[in-house]
A = this chain, B = another copy of it.
Amino acid sequence: MDRQRNSVGDLPGGLSAFPITPVTSAGVDLEAFQRIVVRLVAAGVDSIGALGSTGSSAYLSREERRAVAGAAVRAAAGVPVLVGIGALRTDDVLRHADDAQVAGAAAVLLAPVSYQPLTDDEVFGLYEDVSARCALPLCVYDNPGTTGFTFSDELHIRIAALATVAAVKLPGMGFDVAAERLPRLREAFPHGVSIGVSGDWLAADGLLAGADTFFSVLGGLLPHPMRALTRSAQSGDAQTARAISAEFEPLWMLFRRYGSIRVVSAAAELLGLSAAPNLPRPLLPLPATGREALAALLPSLTERR
């Protein structure tokens, strides 16, 4: 499929790190957030995903989101920042897109956040509305675990043809599925639309099957090993990529059991990067058993660079 792309810059592939947004009883802790972002930049991540699902965007007010987007861009010091603009109502999404542009975002990241289950036409209409309003590169954020919405490949292809769509972030999938699906989507997408994967425990599979980008929750807290995983997979060193992935499997078991946001939130606290509790209620801190398991795991995992 060939098409003229207007004004859509290329987004970097590689490791896109998704930090938490620490939220205490006093509100968003911008200082702690910037400390976390500065660490990511120092570790050489390729881009930063601010206000993703892990960044609690769905829970924050417009003012808080604006402040976080600005803080992210300043702390990123030139590293491209993708800013999450998802919200239940299209009018709010468009406001967040305006704010992201003013903040200096390199791209906007949009999940079809749902209350009433959305139809394919409604989700397409949402992306169409944003594409018509906001000139920034748009990354489609396919996250059924939080939105409840499942994209078909047909819908992905329809949306990827919109003028500003620059990237698609897919849920994690095993190697065999990815090796079949990614080339098929790439063939159907306009030239230049990059394809990334999330679901940290499946990232090595996705990258080895050809994904351009690893959108990583853990990369938002422990960037060094996730960068090493990404680089080794993308240079074709499957053995190293899989070995790093295997090493983190105990941590990813906690992700699957408790939800990755609760685990990285507790890890940020254990590493002294944020106060606790740091999640917006009704979200609660990691329960004690999970916290103990995490505390036992962290030292060996953080020694690794």
Stretch at the interface among A9-17, A161-169, A174-182, A278-286: A278-286
Stretch at the interface among A32-40, A67-75, A118-126: A118-126
Is residue A187 within 8 Å, beta carbon to beta carbon, of the partner chain? no
Which residues from B are CB-within-8-Å of A126?
281-282
From the candidates B60, B113, B129, B284, name the one contacting A125 in the complex (CB within 8 A). B284
Q: How far is the CB of A55 from chain B (nearest CB, A)?
A: 11
Which residues from B are CB-within-8-Å of A283?
116, 118, 122
At the interface, is chain A mostly helix, strand, loop or mixed?
Answer: loop
From the candidates B90, B113, B119, B284, name the one contacting A281 in the complex (CB within 8 A). B90
Q: Answer whether A90 and B282 are a contact pair too, CB < 8 Å, given A58-B115, A115-B113.
A: yes
Is residue A112 within 8 Å, beta carbon to beta carbon, of the partner chain? yes
Instruction: State in angstroms the CA–CA spacing of A230 and B152 once bound together.
Output: 41
Instruction: State in angstroms the CA–CA spacing of A58 and B88 once bound together.
Output: 7
User: Is there an interface contact between B59 and A88, defined as CB atoms closer than 8 Å?
Assistant: yes
Is residue A91 within 8 Å, beta carbon to beta carbon, of the partner chain? yes
Which residues from B are CB-within-8-Å of A146?
115-117
From the candidates B60, B112, B115, B259, name the one contacting A116 in the complex (CB within 8 A). B259
Which residues from B are CB-within-8-Å of A147?
115
User: Is there an interface contact between B261 and A116, defined as CB atoms closer than 8 Å?
Assistant: yes
From the candidates B90, B117, B287, name the one contacting A259 in the complex (CB within 8 A). B117
Q: How far is the CB of A118 from chain B (nearest CB, A)?
A: 6
Q: How far is the CB of A165 from chain B (nearest CB, A)?
A: 16
Is residue A171 within 8 Å, beta carbon to beta carbon, of the partner chain? no
Is residue A148 within 8 Å, beta carbon to beta carbon, of the partner chain? yes
Which residues from B are CB-within-8-Å of A129?
281-282
Instruction: State in angstroms the CA–CA spacing of A145 and B114 once bound together.
Output: 11
A89's nearest neighbour on chain B, judged by CB, is B59
User: Is there an interface contact between A282 and B58, defined as CB atoms closer than 8 Å?
Assistant: no
Q: How far is the CB of A259 from chain B (nearest CB, A)?
A: 6
Interface contacts beyond A116-B261, A118-B282: sample of 15 additional A-B pairs, CB < 8 Å, sorted by A: A53-B115, A53-B116, A59-B88, A89-B281, A90-B280, A90-B282, A91-B281, A115-B146, A115-B147, A116-B146, A123-B282, A125-B284, A126-B281, A126-B282, A129-B281
A-B pairs, top 8 by smallest CB distance, nearest first, are: A90-B281, A58-B115, A126-B282, A59-B89, A122-B282, A90-B282, A148-B148, A122-B284
23 A-B residue contacts at CB 8 Å? A53-B116, A59-B88, A59-B89, A59-B115, A60-B89, A89-B280, A89-B281, A89-B282, A90-B280, A90-B281, A91-B280, A91-B281, A116-B259, A116-B283, A118-B283, A119-B284, A121-B287, A122-B284, A125-B281, A125-B284, A126-B281, A129-B282, A148-B148
